Amino acid sequence: MKRIIKLSFLVIFICASVLLNSCLYDSNDLFTTLDEESAVDSLDNSVEELDVNSKEFFLKSKEEQMNKNLLSDINLRKAIFYAIDRKKIVDELFGGFNHVHNSLFPEYSYYYSQSWEEYDYDIDKAEEFLNMAGYGVDNPVYITIGSISESNTKQTIEEIIKEDLEKIGIKLWIFNKPSEEWYMDCVGKGDYELGLWSIYNFDGSNLGCSFSSDKIPSMVTEENKYCENFYWYSNPEVDVIIKDIESEENTDIKKELFKNLQVMLADDAVILPLYERMFYIVFNNEKLQNIDIDIKNNKLFFRLENWILSDAHESENQESNEVIIGFEGEDYRVDDLFDRDYIGNLLMKGLWEINEYGDYESVLVEEDNAAENVSGVSNEEKVKVELKDGIFWEDGNPITSGDVKYTFDFIKENGIIAGSNLDLSKITGIEIIDDNEFYIIFSEDVKDWKKFFSFILLPEGAMDEKNINDISIEDIVANGPYKIEQYVSDDFILLKKNSLYFREIPDIDYFKVVFDSDINNLIGMLKDKEVDLLVVPFDISLIESLDEDESFNLLIKPGNMFEHLAICLKQKEE
């Protein structure tokens, strides 16, 4: 399980690591960080002597603004939001293959709420709010925007925003940085005004890390970790809602709380969602007629029980059938026992797995698992868990409590926390009752404890004298709907239907996953019908050509990554 809201790209984790190890932040003025060039020597000149389109003119004009905390004015923030034509941004980038997003959750989520719908482009409202803030075309305000310099997409967004804001009297200057500098020096230290980056959110369980007032980066300590409120936002009412969400177990009540949270964030005009990152899945409709796919933790999962092969294909392949999937990458690795992908999910199941509500559903265990206090064991709290009947490994051996204890002990001994905020020290261990029942023993109260046991299960003894870095394809013993039939390193993996799978066995006999690090090769294989399904990168001409080809179907699924405009509310010295 990953933290629910994260910055995109690996460097964000570097940023988070820096913040975890220091409670200091740079209090320098914004422009000493964002502009490292010496091109502002002419600031001593009067504004009238400078080119009105120059950086020097902009910085001089901004320096002469009396208010150094412009964005603390909600009227100015709302003026910005109403002035941005988000539809124009989406159409420019995606044509008709995406749309404006108005929520912190993906559209299919139970907690989806269009709370930012009020900020549809409205230049009259934008001018009205800007006038209330004391600015206008005849009295412009000077603000900066920044993002990573490597992204053409973000630079396109910045240019459109700049054009939109200048219409109402907001002068914008774009200061971009390389990824590491942008996230660590600007975002991580609150040294920006307007910013662009992607945020990640699947089930909302850790939204507090991004919006609680006690999660501002400068507040990070060993006890107060994951301080990712990079907006420097503080609202006591929001703090209360977040606390209520964290303690609430009723899904319907959580739905209302998440709606209220999003409404408050929209009303306070702290962030403006722009669009969702989409998955573009293309498949051969001459062979596959119905593809059902889930998106969890921004990864694809196949609902194989709903997949349908064409009648013509089935009649030609009566003895067996095979679906070929293209996989962009050199090979397949099992790096994380908590974080599976569709291949791992076809092979391996755990005790619980997360659903579209953000709740954990039982997989290998019976559904009723009530916590109970057991006297005589240092007053520790125990949870009694019962495994389902008729669950087996691919070799016919039953899955037992010993397998659960072995896997948990292996994970804890190796310090595998899956890059998440799971603190396994809160769990003392597993106490076996018999082959089908066991206790989970907690050293303290743990919320959402099932997520600690969503890991991929290993047979007892499978990793003796090995560590997590030693896990390979050859170590996998399947308990899912498929098992490994053949594996050729750096080439392909062939999965065969597992006749011992405890749920409904899929109709498709074989899944072949073909590896190639060059997506262009895979696209060529798709077009040549050598691959039946492929996730393709977004390119308007490519998507249009595949969408127009009657032999292919295009399936567009919203992911869990959202592009947004951020506003920094960190107070600066006047």
The answer, yes or no, to whether residue 30 has pLDDT greater than 90, is: no
Average pLDDT, the chain: 85
For residues 409 and 118, give the distance between their C-alpha atoms in angstroms, rounded to a whole number.
51
pTM equals 0.83
Taking the C-alpha atoms of residue 291 and residue 508, their distance in angstroms, rounded to an integer, is 12
CB atoms within 10 A of CB 529: 13
- Whether the CB-CB separation of 417 and 424 falls below 8 Å is answered with yes
Range of lowest pLDDT (27-36, 53-62, 230-239): 27-36
The span from the CA of 112 to the CA of 118, in Å, is 15
All structural domains of the chain, each given as residue ranges with its CATH number in brackets, are: 48-278+563-567 (3.10.105.10), 288-475 (3.90.76.10)
∠ Cα 26 30 36 (to 5°):
95
Is the pLDDT at 525 greater than 50? The verdict is yes
Residue 11: per-residue pLDDT: 40
Q: Up-side HSE of residue 504: CA atoms within 13 Å toward CB? A: 8
CA nearest neighbour of 275 among 44, 555, 460, 88: 88
Query: Tens digits of per-residue pLDDT, 158-214?
Result: 999 999 999 999 999 999 999 999 999 999 999 999 999 999 998 887 799 999 999
CA-to-CA dists, residue 257 to 21, 260, 358, 484, angstroms: 32, 5, 14, 44
Helix/strand/coil (H, E, C) string of 42-102?
HHHCCHHHCCCCCHHHHHHHHHCCCCCCHHHCHHHHHHHHHHCCHHHHHHHHHCCCCCECC
In this prediction, residue 37 has a pLDDT band, given cuts at 50, 70 and 90, of: very low
As a whole number of angstroms, the distance between CA 22 and CA 410 comes to 31
- Statement: residue 415 has pLDDT above 90: no
Q: Using the predicted structure, report yes or no on whether residue 31 has a pLDDT greater than 90.
A: no
Two tokens, residue 354: 């997360």
Calculate mean pLDDT across residues 400-423.
78
More confident residue, 13 or 449: 449
With residues binned 3-state (H G I as helix, E B as strand, rest as coil), the percentages for the chain, rounded to 5, are 35, 25, 45
Q: Decide: helix, strand or coil at residue 224.
A: coil
Contact 497, 481 (CB under 8 A): yes
Q: Supply the pLDDT for residue 268.
A: 98
In the chain, count H helices and then E strands: 16, 20
Q: Which residue has the higher pLDDT, 16 or 268?
A: 268
Determine the average pLDDT of the residues in 224-249. 94
Task: Tell which residue, 301, 299, 343, 310, has the closest CA to residue 529.
Answer: 310
State the amino acid at position 248 in one-letter form. Answer: E
Q: What pLDDT digit, counting tens, does each position of 107-163 carry?
A: 889 999 999 999 999 999 999 999 999 999 999 999 999 999 999 999 999 999 999
Whether 570 shows a pLDDT value over 50: the answer reads yes
Instruction: Please give the pLDDT value at position 318.
Output: 59
Instruction: Inform me whether the pLDDT recorded for 307 exceeds 70.
Output: yes
Cα angle 426, 295, 563 (rounded to 5 degrees) comes to 90
What stretches of 179-313 adopt beta strand conformation (E)? 194-200, 271-284, 288-290, 293-296, 299-302, 308-309
Both tokens of 143, joined, read 């603000």
pLDDT digits (tens, 9 = 90+) for 87-98: 999 999 999 999
- Strand order through the sheet with 371-373: 371-373, 381-386, 437-442, 427-432
pLDDT surpassing 80 at residue 246: yes
pLDDT band of 36, cuts 50, 70, 90: very low
The per-residue pLDDT for 374 is 41
Which of 214-223, 342-351, 441-450, 475-484 bottoms out in mean pLDDT, i.e. has the lowest?
A: 441-450
Q: What is the pLDDT of residues 63-95, one digit of tens each?
A: 888 888 999 999 999 999 999 999 999 999 999
DSSP-assigned letter for residue 536: E
